[in-house]
Structure 1
Amino acid sequence: MDAASLSTVSSTIQTAIAPVFLLAGIAGILNVMVGRLARIVDRARGLEQLHPRSTGPEHDRHVWELRLIDRRITVINSAIFLSVASALAICLVVALMFVSLLVNLHIGGIVAVAFIVSMLLLMGGLIFFLVEVRMSLGAIHVREELLELDARK
């Protein structure tokens, strides 16, 4: 490589640093999402053990919560899928930047579209994550009979 192409490579590396930092951020988000998925699965397993022994209103509550957990698993799985797809699109952006440099292609428009797609996928993943968090909050209300017991003391 001559000095001019070395400076071009250096410039491309500097330009690629921002998407790489974005990948690190997405990795952090994915870590949180996978942690939530693990907690959801743990809760489902706990309820599955209680479910056969429960009767009456407690049984109905277990069935309701298991159905909610099933929906939450689907939603958080979608959030994880979209976030991973976003990270892959960012990797594509970085790869296209270097391919463009090495082959001397003028594909700035394609790189821009790949970046926009990545942001849209990340937005979708974050929206699904928000939906899952809201769903989990719906399951954490204190039952009325427990509130009444507490009021008598």
Structure 2
Amino acid sequence: MTEAAAVTTIAQTIQFAVAPVFLLTGIGALLNVMASRLARVVDRARTLELLHPESTDSARERYEWELRLLNRRMTIVNASIFMIVASAVAVCSVVGLLFVAELGHFHIGNAVAIVFIIAMGLLVMALFLFLIEIRLGLHAIRTSRDLLGKRK
């Protein structure tokens, strides 16, 4: 009878852990988007680094401005990636703590809640930084429209 109860306890714990696992799936998708965005920014920076030495004065100023912007964007996306990975680690910790608490009959509900709140805080900060990076990217696009000249 004790083993049946233990299996039931484990099954219930797995059910509790399913929600954080879905959260991890979403975090993984966001991480993929952020990494792709970072790769595009790095590719653009490498292209400009090749064009910069051979450019004229006006183009050189434009390239330098954009390179500074790209450097800032890379820094922001890297910070965002760091925070979202830290959030994923915290969510994994929540799952682990749920199992430890249930199997060891520990009363660590407050610790689980605190770690979950930390995970959500990190996720919010990562998304906020990602929003800032997107806005910076849009700023670069708007600025390049200036090169097209005025509409008639």
Match of 1:89 in 2: 90
Q: Does residue 25 of structure 1 match 2:32?
A: no
RMSD: 1.2
- Return the match for 1:144 from 138, 143, 146: 146
Q: Which residue does the alignment assign to 1:131?
A: 132
Report whether the alignment pairs 1:39 with 2:45: no
1:103 Cα shift?
Answer: 1.5
CA separation in 2, counterparts of 1:26 and 1:69?
24
Structure 2: how far apart are the matches of 1:22 and 1:71? 29
TM-score scaled by structure 2? 0.95
Q: CA deviation at 1:144?
A: 3.3
The normalised TM-score by structure 1 is: 0.94
- Matched residues in 2 for 1:145 and 1:13: separation? 57
CA distance in 1 between counterparts of 2:141 and 2:90 reads 36
Pairwise CA distance, 1:147: 2.2
Determine the C-alpha separation between the residues in 2 that align with 1:105 and 1:60.
62
Q: Offset of 1:145 from its aligned partner?
A: 4.6
Gaps of 5+ in 2: none
Q: Residue by residue, what CA displacement relative to the aligned partner does 1:19-74 show, whole Å, maximum 9, x if unpaired?
A: 00000000000000000000000000000000001122111000000000000000
4+ runs of 1 displaced by more than 4 Å?
none
Change (3 A) 1:145 1:11: closer
